[in-house]
Chains A and B, each alone.
Chain A
């Protein structure tokens, strides 16, 4: 049977694009593993779920490992911000691989069974610039955005403003309704430092 010559490319095009359409309709189309942290049999986050896109802060929040321990255990230079992703560490720390972090966190959790993971997802909702959290739940430190004010952070992360200011060694009379990005520029600190302070508070005040 003879068919039109364009049948060859047309079939492959339809098959390829059709598979994408079917995958999307079936909800099986995903181009990223973000937000998809597997849990183990007990329902706790499984260290195998640590992905290259996860930042140090994400790992800390998701698995309940204090940032200080994470920095020390993985040999992360202290000057690197907690927003550094695992895949970026692979280019910075010799012989470091994301698998290294998985193994280390697994060992850490085995040695510290009391470690408590943050209750929220390690990632902000896609496309959402402004982090927000439903009443009664606590925003993870990793979800703090630069445009959030100290008051918003205090309210959503459930951390007193005075604690943040004290830990950051900032003037107690500072305007808490200013975005922390603006404050960071004005007072010479990094937004990541606020995340660390909040994370430490949340870890010690679960």
Chain B
């Protein structure tokens, strides 16, 4: 029987998440305290999604959308390569906003507040929200040649510390309202933003379908206890899949929870071709 103490994987993941969140917050603080003049990067400049937003204008006009820079494109390309190789582990290990939502879930559990469980059908439908948000942002960004989403982006609002250094309710109330709503919502619904609204998550979800490495399930040893389903923070029904890709954030919680060694494991896409007779499915 497995211990209820946090596993090594869990601890390492939390440390990595904390490290990246701290880096972003310290950079934002330095930027907000006048480091801009000394060339300290802004939160905008360190967001891989900015690379996607500015891509169209860069290709067509050879210019970046205001507030985006070469760093956005470099990070975007790096993340694209990483995702094609290893799926959405960025969301589970690196994204500071994902880390914040995990923190809120941990807090809720500690306070013994029950999770607000979204019905399965609603969960599936709301899951398409990410693609709608993504399409809307790309359309608005291309048509206005501005970082249109910046005025609403809860990640930017929270982690740029603009609410601390240049609070302005009159001009930024939509961003503050959305951010607060997401924070409160994520307290009750794990990874609310990631599951239903995150445009970067939507992009990575599409790319993850072809990822070289992914979590796989050995159907011959699986005892269908469904502990993996319960452990998954983004509610993937791992026990129904042989290969977990699209929505997976690579947190490895399912593997940690599985009571049968090596039933859930990290394998390659190539195995899919040999498992045609098994019950196939992609999350």
Which residues on A are within 8 Å of B, measured CB to CB?
1-20, 22-23, 28-34, 38, 48, 51-53, 91, 98, 126-127
Q: Indicate if the CB atoms of B39 and A32 lie closer than 8 Å.
A: yes
Contact of B89 (CB < 8 Å), options: A8, A30, A53, A98: A8
- Are A13 and B268 closer than 8 Å at their CB atoms? no
Q: Residues of B contacting A18 with CB < 8 Å?
A: 78
Q: Is B74 an interface residue (CB 8 A)?
A: yes
Contacts of B88-125 to chain A: CB distance below 8 A: 89-90, 92-94
B168: chain A residues within 8 A (beta carbon): 91
Question: What A residues does B82 contact at CB under 8 A?
Answer: 11-16
B271 at interface, CB cutoff 8 A: yes
Complex: A23 Cα to B41 Cα, angstroms? 15
Stretch at the interface among B62-70, B126-134, B231-239: B62-70
Given contacts A1-B267, A16-B78, 8 further A-B contacts (CB under 8 A): A2-B266, A9-B16, A19-B81, A28-B74, A30-B69, A31-B42, A98-B66, A127-B38
Q: Contact between B16 and A23 (Cβ–Cβ < 8 Å)? A: no
B154 contacts A by Cβ under 8 Å: no
Which residues of B lie under 8 Å from residue A1 when comparing CB positions? Answer: 267-268, 270-271
**In the bound complex, CA of A20 to CA of B265 (Å):** 30
Q: What 9 pairs between A and B have smallest CB-CB spacing?
A: A19-B78, A15-B82, A31-B41, A23-B74, A11-B86, A31-B45, A12-B82, A30-B70, A12-B89
Assuming the contacts A7-B266, A16-B79, A31-B46, asked whether A127 and B250 have C-beta atoms less than 8 A apart, the reply is: no
In whole angstroms, what is the CA distance A91 to B162 when docked? 13
Pull 20 A–B residue pairs with CB atoms less than 8 Å apart, ordered by A: A1-B268, A3-B213, A3-B267, A3-B268, A4-B266, A5-B255, A5-B266, A8-B213, A9-B92, A9-B250, A11-B82, A12-B85, A12-B86, A15-B85, A20-B78, A22-B74, A32-B41, A32-B42, A52-B66, A52-B67
Q: A161–B270 Cα gap in the complex (Å)?
A: 77
Report the minimum CB–CB distance from A86 to chain B (whole Å): 10
CB <8 Å contact, B266 and A16 = no
The interface size bin for chain B is 35 or more
Complex Cα–Cα for A70 and B125 (A): 52
B9 at the interface (CB under 8 A from A): yes
A-contact 0/1 string along B22-47, CB 8 Å cutoff: 00000000000000101101100110
State A100–B133 Cα separation when bound (angstroms). Answer: 28
Min CB distance B66 to A, Å, is 6
Query: Which residues of B are interface residues toward A (Cβ below 8 A)?
Result: 9, 13, 16, 36, 38-39, 41-42, 45-46, 48, 63-64, 66-67, 69-71, 74-75, 77-79, 81-83, 85-87, 89-90, 92-94, 166, 168, 171, 213, 215, 250, 252, 255, 262, 265-268, 270-271
**CB-CB under 8 A for A11 and B265, given A51-B66, A98-B66:** no
> A53 and B213: CB pair below 8 A?
no
Q: Are A30 and B66 in contact (CB under 8 A)?
A: no
Chain B residues with Cβ under 8 A from A17's Cβ?
Answer: 78
Assembled-state Cα–Cα distance A88/B94 (Å): 32
What separation, in Å, do the CA atoms of A134 and B85 have in the docked complex?
A: 51
Bound Cα distance A12, B251 (Å): 12
> How distant is A47 from chain B, measured CB to nearest CB, in Å?
13
Residue of A with least CB distance to B16: A9
A4–B266 Cα distance when bound, in Å, is 7
A16 touches B89 (CB 8 A): no
Counting chain B CB atoms within 10 Å of each CB, which of A30, A126, A127 scores highest?
Answer: A30
Q: In the complex, what residues of B have CB within 8 A of residue A52's CB?
A: 66-67
Q: B250, A28: Cβ atoms under 8 Å?
A: no
Complex Cα gap A10–B166 (Å): 37
Q: Give the residues in chain A near B262, CB-CB below 8 Å.
A: 2
Nearest CB in chain A to that of B204: its residue = A12
Q: Does A30 contact B78, Cβ atoms closer than 8 Å?
A: no
Q: How far is the CA of A7 from the CA of B213 in the complex (A)?
A: 8
Q: With A15-B82, A98-B66 as given contacts, are A9 and B74 in contact (CB-CB < 8 Å)?
A: no
**B265 touching A5, Cβ below 8 Å:** yes
Bound complex: CA A149 to CA B242 (Å):
74
